[in-house]
Homo-oligomer: A and B are copies of this chain.
């Protein structure tokens, strides 16, 4: 056949799933989200746009929600990173503006809340959102914390479990507040708001540090090589869902 495309090597026998179709489906899903929104998006429509059979969709994804999660997860990986701007405040500000820009896209705007709403009744879907979006983007918080610690803006962690819960708090704080302003209050996340909010975040986080780790000599942590963790987990776009 005139299509000697590179297929991923797998131990499984039989005809492998077309990676081209996978990409075409996710692209079609995003396009359909832009045009139709979550409510009017149908599996048949996505199949027609991607020029695949409707049954192929159901062989790879359990339903609309799972498909859309994968479609928007790509956008998160592509458009969110942590620019190193020299201070915790500036780093927070940068990621807030990036996240706001992502939330202004019609695809993410209409899809994110919908899949989260579905996930409240579907534990498997919630796990998929966690692994595909939440946990992947929480690396920004962990990286930002490490940089702030290296600069001396935050104390090094005495207890790793405390570090994890603080990272969770910061993540909920930034993501939740920006989402709420952008989608519920429906007011713009502009540079001025981002600056004010970042000031709030930095001051608030430092305040909670003083409260929870009061016993530690927090100021000017003794420099210890923080063992720069690799920050780039290889993307796995060919992670075929169970069919």
Q: Pick the contact of A196: B118, B175, B185, B212 (CB < 8 A).
A: B212
Residue on B with the closest CB to A193? B169
Q: Which secondary structure characterizes the binding site on chain A?
A: helix
Contact of A207 among B37, B39, B90, B200 (CB under 8 A): B200
Contact residues in B for A83 (Cβ distance below 8 Å): none
| Closest Cβ neighbor of A230 among chain B residues | B203
Query: Which residues of A, 37-88, contact B by the 8 Å Cβ criterion?
Result: 37-39, 85-88
CB-based nearest B residue for A118? B39
Check: A216 CB closer than 8 A to any chain B CB. Answer: no
Cross-chain contact A175 with B168 (CB below 8 angstroms):
no
Task: List, sorted by A's number, 10 A–B pairs whose CB atoms are closer than 8 Å.
Answer: A38-B118, A86-B237, A89-B232, A168-B181, A173-B173, A196-B211, A206-B231, A210-B242, A219-B243, A220-B243
Q: A151-B239, A199-B230, A199-B234 are in contact. List 20 more A-B contacts (CB 8 A).
A: A39-B121, A85-B237, A86-B237, A86-B239, A87-B237, A111-B117, A113-B113, A114-B117, A120-B183, A152-B241, A169-B196, A172-B185, A173-B177, A199-B204, A199-B208, A200-B207, A203-B204, A203-B206, A207-B228, A210-B228
A residues sitting closer than 8 Å to B (CB atoms) are 37-39, 85-90, 109-114, 116-121, 126, 129-130, 134, 151-154, 168-169, 171-173, 175-181, 183-187, 193, 195-208, 210-212, 218-220, 227-228, 230-239, 241-243
